[in-house]
Structures are given as structure tokens and as C-alpha cells.
Amino acid sequence: MKLNGQRRWAATGVVVATTAATIAVALSAPPAGAAPGCRVDYTANNWGGGGFGASVKITNLGDAVTGGWTLKFALPGSQRVAQGWSATWSQSGANVTAASMPWNGSLGTNASIDIGFNGSNAASGDVNPTTFTLNGTECTGAPTTTTTTTTTTTTTTSNNPDPGTRVDNPYVGAKQYVNPDWSAKAAAEAGGSRIANQPTGVWMDRIAAIAGTTGARGLVGHLDEAVRQAAGSPLVIQLVIYNLPGRDCSALASNGELKATEIDRYKSEYIDPIAAILARPAYAGLRIVTTVEIDSLPNLITNVSPRPTAVPACDVMKANGNYVTGVGYALAKLGAVPNVYNYLDIGHHGWIGWDDNFGATAELLFQAANASGSTKANVQGFIANTANYGALKEPYFKIEDSVNGTSVRQSKWVDWNRYVDELSYAQAFRNRAVQAGFDANVGMLIDTSRNGWGGSARPTGPGPTTTVDAYVNGGKLDRRIHLGNWCNQSGAGLGERPKAAPESGIDAYVWMKPPGESDGASEEIPNNEGKGADKMCDPTYTGNVRNGNNMSGALADAPLSGHWFSAQFQELMRNAYPAL
């Protein structure tokens, strides 16, 4: 759904004026040399039941603002601000104040900033606010000087620019967005400047991430920065959509904020605001790639009854259907934005590569792609190995190999899997997905952010042919204890740098998981992010049935998932392959 200067609230009889009020009045005592003036474009969309979303675009028509800004206006009737983004929002009675965040307090001449909020208590007959002040200056749409009190009022409307049609591979011929928040952390590390300019995924892992959290800008802030980085050229910005009810039912470290039954909150408080922001005309020139809900759907294949790896929480999510419902809803809403490219998560070869899991996962994804009003057309592709460690290629043994008459598939490491690395898995899954009903031109992404496995432990040739286990263990690049180990793995390194169209059927190698961000805490850490303590993140944990009762292989002293983990970042750089 697009929000623009001509949109009206049609549902429930609510009428909202969406003209852009443009008033410029001189301050009674303006700073010397300052020329105040501003325009505010306010648009709103009714969701029914009194709920609504409002987009507020501020344009500075005067001298540059460098010390922060404050926007004030009054909401009509009993409307209330429920949740906002890209500003610090407060309300007293009808009067609303939006103050700049630390990262967007500067506003150059003719520069704009997009902020917004979700509101409640909208009623029939309510109209948009029409009077706004920016740092005490009433906004009317024309600049003034310090020597005049002339008031000029104009009314403007805007039309959505034509975003064009989707390209087959959004990464080809496009730059990629460098997240300044991650880049700053990387650059602050010793040697980190070598990779601080790499593009990484932006994780929308809770509702608060939409508005922005401490040390991280919100979605609008990222998109505005992406437009700046694009500078008129094609640019891909990568978002991870990750907040399903009962999220990651088998991994406590990545549990989310929404309970298993809170599908309505997922829709109205998470997906709807994201979709509304992505649909803004200001972002129509971007190529927005979304990785939709990692890990959750594959859990419905491998970690439910009667499997020996069953987890009660996963049985609950399969029974209530909210994973399928939520993914379908996200695909439908995000897919309605013409410049959004949705990629569904397919786990990794060490999870879904077995015969019992492979085809069933493709069929389940097709079911989700056609749920909640979505169709398969809303899926542009799939992503493998998100935030995992599976080697991109295993050059020193193949699935067809045998040692003394014993197949590689019978080794303890491979354990009857059909695939030994992420490239072969991704290419094969693409074909199986088409067989399941997806379009023939779907593409694949592979997350190579932490699967390099370089350093002194990296094999340089095949293992000995004494036994099949010696052959595989001696030659495998992936140095994990077990394929089921996933949390902050010791010995890992940065993998292939992000690259467009590197192999047949592969749209890109990507760093969807930002290197240096933890998978989970080594021990329980109280938090308000809904993240639990998973034993697989404890280096002393001796394992479970899902990792063959092996040690976890996790690094010690890790922070909460998504938080910066300096020791891991340094190890990833040391073990990078290709080397830095």
C-alpha cells in the first residue's frame, strides 16, 4: 500500500485531508543570519477500528539545522500516538512533540527527513493536523529571511513515481547498502577498516527496531541513508524480516518478543508499519531485498512430533498455523510494493539436506507463499545459510566419493545427507522449489558472512583414505564439531565477499548476518528483547539429539544475540577466506 499526498482514509467513513501544509513565518527572535522556513507533508492511512499510521515528511527550506530539531503539532479529536519511529515521540493532551534522534539531528537546506507513527482512537470526521512548527518556526512551505514577516501559504500534492518493474536479479548492476551503524562498529575494531565498507543485512528483529533502538537507527533512517548512498544509481538494501509469533521455536537464544498466539500484533504492529514505510514514494528507486523469517518454517519439518528431535514449542506452532499464516501475510504485504524482492529462508544443507526434509520443506514454503492472500509471485527467491556456518564449497570430497567401498554419505559427518556444502544444496533446492510450483526464474542467495573457515586449521588437500571418516574429517573445510552446531562457532572465518551472480542459479553471495553480531549469550542475561539463554551457546554444554550429543563448539563470554561480540569479530577476520 502506498501513502502519498493524495491518499484518503476511505474505511469506516474517516476523512483525512492530505494536503501538504507549507507555512513559513519568521521567528520573533531568529538567530543571527538564520533563514527559517519549512514544509511538512503529513499523510495517514486508516487500518480500521480506530488504528492508523501516519507518515510525516519534514523539509527544511531555511539555513541548515545542525543542533537537532523539534517538530510540534496537535492531533484532532482523541487521537493518540501509540508508537513512533525515527524521532522521540511524546504527547500531552492533543499536543504532539517529535524530537530528532542522535543520528538525524542535522537537516541541511532543502534536505528532508521522514518520520512517522502508529496511532489510535481515530474517529469519523477527523482531519489531518494542518499547523506544524519546526524549532519554533511555523511551517508553511516557503523560506523567509530574518528581516521579513511575510506569510506565504501554498498547497501541494504529489504523485507516486513509477517504480518500474522488478528485474530478474536485483543485485546485478546495483550497488549495495553499507549500514553505517555496523560499519562504525567494524571500523572501531583493530583491522576492522578492511571490511567496514561491506554491505550487510539490516535486522528488523522486533517492533522497536522499526523506530530505532539505542545505537541503531530505525527503518526510515536506513532507507533515507540508502537513498543518499544510491545517489541516483541502482542500490540494493537488504532487510531481515524476523519477528514471527513464537519465533525460532527450537532455539531460545533467538526467541522473539511475540507469544505463539500473537499473530494479530505481528500483522498490525510489525508487518503493516514496515510495508507502509517501504511503499513511500521516496524509496521507489531502491531495490529492497527482504529475507523473510529465517529458521521458523524449517522447524515445522524437523523439530515436530513424531521426530526424535521434536520440541514442544514447535508442535504448538505447527498446530496453530501462525508460522504459515504470518509468512504468507508478510509476503502479501511486502510483495505489494513493486520494488521489494522477497527471499524465503531455507535453512542450510546441514539441516534440510536429508531426503526426509528436502522436498517437504519446498512444499511447505509453497504452502506459505500462497497463504494469507499471498501468491507465489511474491517470492523472488530463497536464501541458504542465513547466520550459519556451512562451507560454501567442499573441494576435497564429494558426495559421490567412497573409501574402500564405503560411501561418503555413511561418514559420521555427512550422516546420509545428500549435500556436503551450501552451493550444491542451494542449486538443488532451487530446482526442487520449481518442481513444488514456484516460478522457474526464482533465484538463490547464500549467506557467506561466516563460512570461510580459513586460518591454520584449513585443510589444503583430501584426508587420508584409511577410513571414510578419516577421509572426510581430514579434508572438510567446515571445522565444526557437528553440523548441528550453530551458535558463535569457534574457529569460523569470514567467507566470500558479497558478490552478484557468482554461480549458476545464484543471485548473490551476501553477508545477511553482520559479522561481529552474536548468535546468543553464553549464559543467561536479563533483557527486554525476549531473548532466552540457549545451551547451544554455552561452550561447556555437552549437546543434545539435534547435534549428536556433541560439545556445542561455542565461543565463551558471548553477549545477547544481535549484540556486538568483539572477540568473535576478531576471530572472523583472522580466519577469513579469502584472506583479508
Q: Are residues 98 and 145 in the same domain?
A: yes
Domain-embedded: residue 180? yes
Percent of the residues in the chain that have a pLDDT greater than 90, as a whole number: 73
Q: What is the pLDDT of residues 238-279, one digit of tens each?
A: 999 999 999 989 878 677 899 999 999 999 999 999 999 999
Query: Contact, 198 vs 578, CB < 8 A?
Result: no
pLDDT for 124 equals 77
pLDDT for 19 equals 32
Domain-embedded: residue 529? no
Mean pLDDT, rounded, for 416-425? 98
d(CA 283, CA 226): 9
Q: Are residues 447 and 356 in the same domain?
A: yes
Our count of domains for the chain comes to 2
Domain-embedded: residue 225? yes
Name the residue with higher pLDDT: 23 or 423: 423
Domain-embedded: residue 2? no
Mean pLDDT, rounded, for 368-385? 98
pLDDT for 471 equals 98
| Residue 27 pLDDT grade (very low, low, confident, very high; cuts 50, 70, 90) | very low
Domain-embedded: residue 528? no
pLDDT at 25 over 50: no
Q: Are residues 433 and 557 in the same domain?
A: yes
Least confident residue range of 25-39, 241-255, 543-557: 25-39
139 strand-pairing partners: 24
Q: Are residues 300 and 385 in the same domain?
A: yes
Q: Are residues 51 and 190 in the same domain?
A: no
Give the domain extent around 68.
11-156
Domain-embedded: residue 565? yes
Q: Are residues 507 and 430 in the same domain?
A: yes
Q: Who contacts 301 (Cβ-Cβ below 8 Å, separation ≥6)? A: 352, 357, 360, 361, 364
Q: Are residues 123 and 262 in the same domain?
A: no
pLDDT for 83 equals 82
Name the residue with higher pLDDT: 73 or 110: 73
Q: How far is CA 476 from CA 102, 384, 409, 458, 549, in A?
A: 47, 19, 13, 8, 20
Q: Are residues 240 and 140 in the same domain?
A: no
Options 114, 272, 295, 538, the catalytic residue = 295
pLDDT for 144 equals 53
Domain-embedded: residue 88? yes
Mean pLDDT, rounded, for 535-551? 94
Options 272, 519, 534, 538, the catalytic residue = 519
pLDDT for 397 equals 98
Q: Are residues 179 and 77 in the same domain?
A: no
Q: What is the pLDDT of residues 194-244, one digit of tens each?
A: 999 999 999 999 999 999 988 899 999 999 999 999 999 999 999 999 999
pLDDT at 364 over 60: yes
Q: In degrees rounded to 5, what are phi and psi of residue 443?
A: -115, 175
Structural element, H or E, at residue 275: helix 272-278
pLDDT at 437 over 80: yes
503 strand-pairing partners: 506
Domain-embedded: residue 3? no
d(CA 338, CA 355): 36
d(CA 240, CA 261): 22
Active site residue 401: no
Helices (H), 199-270: 208-211, 219-230, 263-265
pLDDT for 209 equals 95
Q: Are residues 228 and 281 in the same domain?
A: yes
Mean pLDDT, rounded, for 539-566? 94
Return the CATH number at 109.
2.60.40.290
pLDDT for 496 equals 98
d(CA 354, CA 349): 8
d(CA 565, CA 545): 28
For 64, the grid coordinates are: 541548515
Q: What is the pLDDT of residues 132-191, one digit of tens each?
A: 999 989 998 877 543 333 333 333 333 333 445 799 999 999 999 999 999 999 999 999
Q: Are residues 37 and 182 in the same domain?
A: no
* Summary mean pLDDT of the chain: 88
Q: Who contacts 117 (Cβ-Cβ below 8 Å, separation ≥6)? A: 53, 54, 56, 81, 82, 83, 84, 85, 89, 98
236 strand-pairing partners: 176, 287
Q: Are residues 120 and 82 in the same domain?
A: yes
Helices (H), 411-453: 422-436
Amino acid (1-letter code) at residue 428:
A
Return the CATH number at 394.
3.20.20.40
pLDDT for 500 equals 98
Least confident residue range of 3-12, 84-93, 235-244: 3-12
